[in-house]
Amino acid sequence: MAYFLGGVGTGILIMLGIMWWNIGRHKRIRSLTKYVVFSISVLIVYVIAEMIVSTVTGVSHPDLTTLIGSTFGGEILFCALIKIFKLKEENNE
């Protein structure tokens, strides 16, 4: 279990380091992209935390999982729709 948590922590630190390096050196990341990355990160972190909690305690939280999944999944869906309609407007012009 310690190796798993160490691997997750190392992966998160590497991801944050790469993001920090890219933001400073290249063009600015659009706010919609930042929000999508944030939503996916929250979903991944929650799934990992829920797996650990349910494995250790034996208690699952289906209502909270549904709430988190539907909220951030819906936000990702709406961001995708915004991006699609912006692309269609650019093609029409």
| pLDDT tens by residue, 5-42 | 677 777 777 777 766 666 665 566 677 777 888 888 88
| pTM score of the predicted model | 0.63
**Cα separation, 55 vs 81, whole angstroms:** 36
Is 93 a residue whose pLDDT tops 60?
A: no
Distance, first Cα to last Cα, the chain? 55
Query: How is 59-80 classified by DSSP, letter by letter?
Result: ---HHHHHHHHHHHHHHHHHHH
Segment 70-89 mean pLDDT: 82
pLDDT-derived band at 49 (thresholds 50, 70, 90) equals confident
Query: Among 20, 8, 63, 70, which residue's Cα sits nearest to residue 43?
Result: 70
